[in-house]
């Protein structure tokens, strides 16, 4: 979910080129906005991955490559998104604008021909950022001068605003309400006999359900619901797995927050019972696909060319 990232303007970012930032508790004179540190690593990760990768895969690998600590990953913006993840997606947006990545919106990041040929030995992130930002600002200025009425139309940059609103509504629910909401989502996704335990001191187990794979195979799944603002850490995952012992072979942790990279590693650690992680962005996608709690809206653009033959 890129709502915060997309709604910011290039003008705002340019104004912060010489900003001072706080990193590791010490003031550091920033050379450009913080997100430009991710530009080159994204290209490197994609090259190592054969030229493409899913959004989550690339983001996690980039965070790992730069050794971003858990406490920095845990910093959450007002939108509910991790600040680090937000910065990675800002970097992706600039790489798309600069012709390095394609503009696919289907969750797969892919290098363009230009991206594959880029010389990373001479790649300067700050120069790249300034070049793309100025080009974008010039383009927007030209568009505004051509059509002054365009400002009356809703900008595509705010299309994702409802996602932030949806997540805020979910976070505002009481714990019991959030558990029942998760129960509904599991049922909508094929789980049967989904029960919310509602017990305290149950090792973090909030409920149980049965997933019927086919007529012969089914398995019990335990789930935990964390109506959470920050990041879920590896210790949370380990504690949940410990509570699962002897009760089920699979588990799900559902959170309105995010999972650190180390938490994701712990969830899929070899030899340990697998745990599926569902974060805030995943929740929003589930509501969208099921059309629960959201109302789809269709808009139209006039196809002016269609009327050309009738103007003669």
Q: Of the given ranges (22-31, 103-112, 183-192, 217-226), which has the lowest mean pLDDT?
A: 22-31
The two beta strands, 108-110 and 52-54, are: antiparallel
**112-146: b (≥16 Cβ within 10 Å) or e:** beebeebeeeeeebeebbeebbeebeeeeeeeeee
At 115-137, the pLDDT tens digits run 999 999 999 999 999 999 888 77
Judge whether 3-156 and 168-290 match in fold: no
CATH domain 3-156 topology = Arc Repressor Mutant, subunit A (1.10.10)
At 23-53, the pLDDT tens digits run 343 334 457 889 999 999 999 999 999 999 9
Q: How confident is the model at residue 7 (pLDDT cuts 50, 70, 90)?
A: very low
pLDDT of residue 302: 87
Burial of 243 (0-12, 13-18, 19+ CB in 10 A): middle
Give the residue-averaged pLDDT of 232-249.
Answer: 91
At 164-203, the pLDDT tens digits run 888 888 988 998 899 999 999 999 988 999 999 866 556 6
Which two tokens mark 147?
A: 């059509």
Look up tokens 């509904």; give the residue: 184
The two beta strands, 20-23 and 26-29, are: antiparallel
The domain segmentation of the chain, as residue ranges, is 3-156, 168-290
pLDDT of residue 222: 94
At 255-285, the pLDDT tens digits run 998 899 999 999 999 989 999 999 988 998 8
CATH domain 168-290 topology = Trna Endonuclease; Chain: A, domain 1 (3.40.1350)
Burial of 76 (0-12, 13-18, 19+ CB in 10 A): buried
Q: How many CB atoms lie within 10 A of CB 240?
A: 25
* CA 58 to each of CA 64, 137, 159, 221: distance values in angstroms, whole numbers, following the listed order: 10, 28, 24, 29
């Amino acid at each position: 979910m890129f709502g915060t990232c997309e709604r910011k303007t290039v003008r705002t970012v340019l104004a912060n080129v010489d900003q001072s930032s706080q990193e590791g508790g010490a003031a550091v004179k920033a050379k450009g906005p913080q997100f430009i540190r991710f530009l080159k690593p994204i290209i490197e990760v994609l090259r190592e991955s054969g030229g493409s990768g899913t959004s989550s895969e690339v983001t996690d690998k980039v965070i790992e490559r730069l050794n971003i600590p858990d406490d920095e990953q845990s910093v959450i913006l007002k939108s509910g998104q991790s600040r680090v993840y937000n910065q990675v997606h800002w970097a992706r947006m600039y790489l798309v604008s600069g012709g390095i990545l394609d503009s696919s919106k289907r969750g797969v990041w892919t290098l363009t021909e230009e991206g594959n040929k880029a010389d990373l030995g001479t790649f300067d992130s700050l120069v790249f950022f300034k070049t793309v930002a100025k080009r974008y600002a010039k383009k927007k200025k030209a568009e505004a001068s051509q059509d002054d009425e365009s400002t009356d139309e809703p900008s595509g940059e705010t299309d994702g605003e409802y996602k932030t609103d949806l997540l805020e509504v979910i976070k505002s629910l009481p714990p019991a309400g959030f558990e029942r909401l998760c129960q509904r989502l599991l049922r909508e996704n094929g789980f049967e006999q989904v029960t919310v335990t509602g017990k305290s001191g149950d090792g973090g187990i909030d409920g149980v359900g049965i997933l019927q794979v086919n007529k012969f195979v089914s398995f019990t799944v335990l789930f935990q619901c964390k109506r959470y603002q920050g990041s879920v850490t590896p210790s949370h995952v380990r504690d949940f797995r410990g509570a699962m012992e002897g009760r089920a072979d699979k588990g799900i942790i559902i959170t309105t927050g995010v999972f650190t990279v180390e938490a994701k590693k712990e969830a899929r650690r070899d030899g340990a019972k697998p745990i599926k992680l569902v974060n805030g962005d995943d929740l929003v996608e589930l509501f969208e696909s099921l059309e629960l709690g959201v109302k789809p809206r269709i808009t139209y653009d006039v196809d002016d060319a269609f009327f050309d033959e009738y103007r003669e």
